[in-house]
Chain A
Amino acid sequence: MALILDLPLQLLQIVLVVAIAPLMMGVTRKVRARLLRRVGPPLLQPYHDLWKLMHKEAVVADNASWVYRRAPYALFAITWVAAGLVPTYATGLLFSWSADLIAVVALLGTGRFVLALAGMDIGTAFGGIGSSREMMIASLAEPAMLMISFAVALIAGTTQLSAIAALFSTGEVGVRVSLGLALLALIMVGIAENARIPIDNPSTHLELTMVHEAMILEYSGRHLAMIELAAQVKLVLYFSLIACLFVPFGIAGSDAGPLHLALGILAWLAKLTLFAVLLPIAETSVAKMRVFRYPAFLGSAFAAAALAVFLRFVSRGF
């Protein structure tokens, strides 16, 4: 009986994260354009873009292998599953226990691995440059991400995202210095992982600065659509992650009624929209970094997260 009720709720989340991902990207682009004093594309433009890409023929290089053709689907599936397992509008969903924070982060690592391989498949210099830089960024971002997991898990006593969100949403934990540092670190890591300014520029096609765009340079048509959608879902995933760890308020409990669930969905959408507005504001206020400044940026993320961990040892009150 419980299964029959729980399964639709889990499926709803899995469908929702994909359904609204392009919209969130649309909000980011619109706000960014307005900040730059441009009119900007309509909010629903990403949906139109995906539709258009899907219905175009895919141009594939002569020497592309199956790795190149399968990678977009694999990447999308991985990102989608990861996003489906992060608590969004309710905690304690049916499959929320099948991957904890570390596993979700590692799943994103699988996606990155697949995409980096796809970048090297055709054997062009740009694909290689993108893959190589992406893996360098990952090697700096992952230790920081793990330290963030540590900081949160030390306070909550668990790495289950659902349990952490349930605990933090009660307000028992309160405002803590270590959580603030962890939030700062997570934002920095999220910026790097989602290829946003100042680490990477999603709208650049200037050869020397591309990272993510360089890896997917050869892609077109339906393959490109899958990759774009995966990037949008990943952004929603990070937004949801920040929301469920640091502002879990309004999230529905595991035995919530329909009203609470509806409220949870509304609260989640509001938080996502807020983040989608804040992100371009942050982006337009800084300049993109040179590639070899990334270690400093991600190193400070790591330092902030490490400080959050060590503060916990100094005093439980932090």
Chain B
Amino acid sequence: MVGGMSDVAIGLVCIAGFFGIGLSGAVLGRLRIATPIVYGASFVVALAAVALALGVLLGEAPPSMVVLPIGLPGTGAHFRLDTLSAFFVLVVDLGAAAASFYGIGYGRHEPEPARVLPFYGAFLAGMNLVLLAADAFTFLLSWEFMSLASWALVVVHHRESASIRAGLLYLLMASFGTLCLLLAFGLLAGPGAAIGGTAGFDHLTFAHMRASPPAEIFAALATVLALLGAGSKAGLMPLHVWLPLAHPAAPSHVSALLSGVMTKVGVYAFVRIVFDVAGNIDPWSGLVVVIAGGTTAVMGVLYAVMQRDLKRLLAYSTVENVGIVFIGLGLALAFRAAGQGPAAALALAAAFLHVLNHSLFKGLLFFGAGAVLTATGERDTEKLGGLVHTMPHTAVVVLIGCMSIAALPPLNGFVSEWLTFQAILMSPQLPQWGLKFAVPVVGALLALAAALAGACFVKAYGIVFLGRPRTPAAAGAHEVDGFSLAAMTALATLCVLIGILPGVVIDMLAPLTRDLAGSALPAQVEVPWLSVVPIAQSRSSYNGLVVFAFLFCAALMAALAVHRLASKTTRKSPPWDCGYPLPSPRTQYSSASFAMPIRRVFGSVVFGLTERVDMPRPGDTRAGHFRYRLRDPAWRFAYGPLARFVVRGAQHLNRLQFLTIRRYLALVFAALVVLMLVVAAWR
């Protein structure tokens, strides 16, 4: 509470601020000054929202409600800010603040700012509205608004056919997602949803749904629908197909928001519906979620390793991380259904910490990709290289981002994956045999995903920043502006800090897990030496601070000892390369060749890999060729057949276009009779 205003009211004021920024962007859009004004104002408003969220989380404030007399007649629009909303407001607006600050510098390179600025504010407003909405109507309206605003940002570069294709696919998937959510809410509103069951439309409020939990079968159905609906926004397999097309198409700071933040709104929708509104869920739906998360994690990162476009690689890696989050959520569902509060709290805390971590390092990495794009005009990794020399500052912060996302200690990505592993290790306590067997397998999938993420980001960093420049564009790169660097540095600092002191954030999650799982992890700040102890010290603990301090001291001692006691002389020389150094930078390992062993090992099974080598005979002077083809299983097995079915159906229906008037009348008559028969049978 500030000055008599409830927390949620302040949140709504922030949202109004974002709307205002969007409007001013529309008015000022064509002026040069508009870019810094819009991004500067967004930065300030986002920081205010971050402060609000932190206040609610740290102060463990009780949920605050506000009902505005708009929206549904007689019911109005309900808004509520509880700890769950507050945490996601924190994630969204932290990302938004960083992206806005980055945008002050990066936005200057935007050729058509008038196409970005109005929708930028609207997009931020939409995401925050979803988080505060507390009835199904407001939620779905905000959800659609967020989708449309982000769609407008995806098709900013509308002259590129790839953007338009991405936009179309995104619209399709977003509509599908909303449809699923609509049905899920319909199920949760229950039989009282028939008009007249309650006053006005009150049965559509979350409070009402919570008070009257649906029958078990409907709750399970709603879970599946929420998984589909929220999963299509978050990027679960096989609903991820729009994500690697749409996220890279937008300007880089918007890509960071789409990938790092909007996917989290999808996660929020799932948690809100399944954990909060739907009441108690069958443990088997936990299994479904865990398996969906595990496959998404591995498939996402396998796709990512194969990519050569830097931003697409990052988008696929988002799919992986969403999978990791869903593993945690699924485990939490299963543990909660089995009545094991502490384990459920652990799994939830792991998932939420990963949500925060991913928004930080994915934002950082997309900013880095944007910086590379600004400096070289290239996104294709095969045309980059050697940027560590020309962009030294960016190289350092992006390295931190890459190490965080590869789940390497002592950085933050490792902490959340370690917590997820600890939650997986609790699985023998589950009563269901299927879960007992499936969860360790998912653990192996998670380990595989983590290892492949390491390979993926060695490749991304090694090809882009290390080695020799592969093109003149890469050789002529320059460091980017101060705003961009400051935004990236801030995110990198947060990555390191959360890695070293994860206990602070885990404690912040305690009210959330208490609300959703009925239990919380032990208070971490009170643990001696600031270790992380999920269950008990004798069971498992990890101390990022001690590990970091040890690493620092050990490296320092080693370097000092060597430089003091041993030789300090260094001689520069051309590379040795086993005696045959070739001067052309094209002799380096490329992105495709780096991925080759992994492509061979996993590709033939998963992607139906075919390779063709065309080697000229000795004496023949034409160029040799090597081609490989990967087929996306989602397109091959899900969307391809679906598209073919739709096209075939359309062709059959096409005949209806050329009937005589008598046949049309007969058709209408037949339809009427059939409908009346249906109604008669129904009664």
A123 adjacent to B567 (CB under 8 Å): no
Quick one: given A60-B570, A61-B573, A65-B389, are A145 and B597 in contact (CB under 8 Å)?
no
A146 adjacent to B421 (CB under 8 Å): yes
Instruction: Give CA–CA (A306, B576) in the complex, Å.
Output: 44
- Nearest A residue to B406 via CB reads A113
A57 adjacent to B575 (CB under 8 Å): no
- Nearest B residue to A310 via CB reads B437
B403 adjacent to A110 (CB under 8 Å): yes
CB contacts (< 8 Å) of A56 on chain B: these are: 567
CB contacts (< 8 Å) of A222 on chain B: these are: 562, 566-567
Instruction: Give CA–CA (A233, B598) in the complex, Å.
Output: 28
Interface residues on B, range: 35 or more
Cβ of B525 within 8 Å of any chain A Cβ, yes or no, is no
CB contacts (< 8 Å) of A309 on chain B: these are: 440
CB contacts (< 8 Å) of A163 on chain B: these are: 538-539
CB contacts (< 8 Å) of B457 on chain A: these are: 113
Instruction: Give CA–CA (A100, B570) in the complex, Å.
Output: 39
A121 adjacent to B558 (CB under 8 Å): no
Cβ 8 A contact of A139, one of B386, B408, B571, B598: B598
Cβ 8 A contact of B567, one of A55, A132, A207: A55
B531 adjacent to A98 (CB under 8 Å): yes
A113 adjacent to B403 (CB under 8 Å): yes
0 or 1 for each of A129-168: is its CB under 8 Å from B? (1 = yes): 1011101101111110111001001100111100100000
Cβ of A6 within 8 Å of any chain B Cβ, yes or no, is no
A77 adjacent to B558 (CB under 8 Å): yes
B524-558, CB < 8 A from A: 529, 531, 537-543, 546-547, 550-552, 554-555, 558
Q: Which of A40-48, A78-86, A272-280 is found at the contact surface with chain B?
A: A78-86
CB contacts (< 8 Å) of B428 on chain A: these are: 154, 312-313
A127 adjacent to B578 (CB under 8 Å): no
Cβ of B593 within 8 Å of any chain A Cβ, yes or no, is yes
CB contacts (< 8 Å) of B601 on chain A: these are: 136, 139-140, 292, 295
B462 adjacent to A116 (CB under 8 Å): yes
Cβ 8 A contact of A160, one of B385, B421, B538: B538
A269-318, CB < 8 A from B: 291-292, 295, 302, 306, 309-310, 312-313
B589 adjacent to A128 (CB under 8 Å): yes
Cβ 8 A contact of A97, one of B388, B414, B537: B537
A80 adjacent to B594 (CB under 8 Å): no
- Nearest A residue to B298 via CB reads A143
Cβ of B72 within 8 Å of any chain A Cβ, yes or no, is no
- Nearest B residue to A116 via CB reads B458
Quick one: given A113-B408, A121-B466, A123-B468, are A103 and B576 in contact (CB under 8 Å)?
no
Cβ of B63 within 8 Å of any chain A Cβ, yes or no, is no
CB contacts (< 8 Å) of A80 on chain B: these are: 554, 558
- Nearest A residue to B396 via CB reads A66
0 or 1 for each of A216-257: is its CB under 8 Å from B? (1 = yes): 011001100110000000000000000000000000000000
B538 to chain A, nearest CB (A): 6
B566 adjacent to A123 (CB under 8 Å): no
Instruction: Give CA–CA (A47, B596) in the complex, Å.
Output: 38
Instruction: Give CA–CA (A77, B559) in the complex, Å.
Output: 10
CB contacts (< 8 Å) of A313 on chain B: these are: 428, 433, 436-437
0 or 1 for each of B416-459: is its CB under 8 Å from A? (1 = yes): 00100110110010000100110011011111101110110111
A159 adjacent to B458 (CB under 8 Å): no
Write the residues of chain A forming the contact surface with B, with a CB cutoff of 8 angstroms. 54-63, 65-67, 73-74, 76-78, 80-81, 84, 95, 97-100, 102-103, 106-107, 109-110, 112-113, 116-117, 119-129, 131-133, 135-136, 138-143, 145-147, 150, 153-154, 157-160, 163, 205, 207, 217-218, 221-222, 225-226, 291-292, 295, 302, 306, 309-310, 312-313
Could you list some 14 contacts between A and B, CB below 8 A?
A61-B576, A77-B554, A106-B409, A109-B454, A113-B406, A113-B458, A121-B462, A121-B466, A133-B597, A135-B597, A136-B597, A146-B446, A150-B424, A226-B562
Write the residues of chain B forming the contact surface with A, with a CB cutoff of 8 angstroms. 385-386, 388-389, 395, 399, 403, 406-409, 414, 418, 421-422, 424-425, 428, 433, 436-437, 440-441, 443-448, 450-452, 454-455, 457-459, 461-463, 466-468, 529, 531, 537-543, 546-547, 550-552, 554-555, 558-559, 562, 565-567, 569-578, 581-582, 585, 587-589, 593-598, 600-601
Given contacts A95-B546, A160-B539, 13 further A-B contacts (CB under 8 A): A74-B555, A76-B554, A77-B551, A120-B589, A122-B575, A123-B386, A132-B459, A143-B445, A150-B440, A160-B540, A217-B577, A217-B578, A313-B437
